[in-house]
Amino acid sequence: MTDAAPSEMPRSEFHMREWPFYWIIRVNSRYFQAMEKALKPLGLDLPNWRVVMALYEGKHLSVSEIADLCVIRLNTTTKIIQRMRTDGLVTTRPRKSDGRVTEVTLTANGEQLRHKGWAVAEKMLERAFGGIPQSERQALNATLEKVFDRLAD
């Protein structure tokens, strides 16, 4: 054991491919690129895709709940919702228990687009995880959830 200051501590060598965040960022970026390309023919971009998937089957969520689920800043989520409302994909209403809260739900057009988007996502899931055992997928999800929770403010 040494009493050396942190700056004097020996550093291990850095190997990029052994750094988990290297792979997380690369997978995330590749996934976003592939999904953008696959969703474009539907007229759906990734921010809208994330919102329609949060609002599944008649669910009413507040704008802040959507922002939290989608890990998008609240002001950005508000702009996405406003654009989606203009496009006829969502409706908004005051929450019955607290009129200061705006709830969002999919319209019939939004629900139809969600189903089409989900079909694209299922194909992407199979493309990415086909042949990987369910047990490995579950272990990966559990590990990523732990990392996500530990990085919370």
Range of the domain at 107: 16-126
- The pLDDT of 6-26, averaged and rounded, is 80
In a domain, 56, yes or no: yes
Q: What strand order describes the sheet that includes 90-95? A: 61-62, 98-106, 90-95
CB atoms within 10 A of CB 44: 20
Please tell me the total count of domains within the chain.
Answer: 1
In a domain, 25, yes or no: yes
User: What is the tens place of the pLDDT at every residue in 78-131?
Assistant: 999 999 999 999 999 999 999 999 999 999 999 999 999 999 999 999 999 999
Which CATH number belongs to the domain containing residue 24 in this structure? 1.10.10.10
> What does 59-115 look like in DSSP terms, one character per residue?
--EEHHHHHHHHT--HHHHHHHHHHHHHTTSEEEEEETTEEEEEEEEE-HHHHHHHH
> Is the per-residue pLDDT at 44 higher than 60?
yes
In a domain, 41, yes or no: yes
Q: Which residue has the tokens 């997380």?
A: 24
In a domain, 67, yes or no: yes
